[in-house]
Amino acid sequence: MKQLWAPWRIEYILGPKPDACVFCLPATTEEDEERLVLYRGVRAFVIMNKYPYNNGHIMVCPYRHVMNLADLPLEDTHEIMDLIQRGTVILKKHFNCEGINVGLNQGQAAGAGIREHLHFHLVPRWNGDSSFIAVFDEVRTLPEDLRRTYAALRPYFCHEGEKA
């Protein structure tokens, strides 16, 4: 599918490719804004998708580097589900979306772009968001810059007293 406007992709196209897993976060939070990390929990975190399917496309990932859902301890899966639930509430509140796709692509055959590290997608949806542009020319439009969306969503994930 073609993209009408996605200036942030040039960094990926021209920039160096990571040697390490993009979902394995450093212990420090210094790079969180640059990496679009919205929230760090005890066992999982919430991050924006740098190459989104729709505005507000976020992901929930375990810190644990695993490929299969069955390999996660129950404590990890419980926190992930809590963050998915919290993410859906935040996306509905901020974007006033009419629906949310929540999904996991486990394995390359299932469409996982980064199959080595499990991650769940939350994609806001609106009735008619697949307009004639997408139908006739396989083009999607994203009306808001990623950094602006990050700045708008970050405060929702902060705890009281925590700096946004």
The residue range of the domain holding 131 is 35-157
Residue 8 resides in a domain: no
Could you give phi then psi for residue 75, rounded to 5 degrees?
Answer: -60, -40
pTM of the model: 0.80
Q: Mean pLDDT in runs of 10 for the chain (164 residues)? A: 58 70 91 95 96 91 96 98 98 95 91 90 86 50 82 86 54
Asked if residue 39 is part of any domain, the answer here is: yes
User: Using CA atoms, how far apart are residues 13 and 109, in angstroms rounded to an integer?
Assistant: 24
Residue 44: exposure state from Cβ atoms within 10 A (0-12, 13-18, ≥19): buried
Q: Is 9 within a domain?
A: no
Which of 57, 65, 119, 159 is an active site residue?
A: 119
For the domain that residue 65 is a member of, what is the CATH number?
3.30.428.10
Say how many domains are in the chain: 1
Active site residue 119: yes
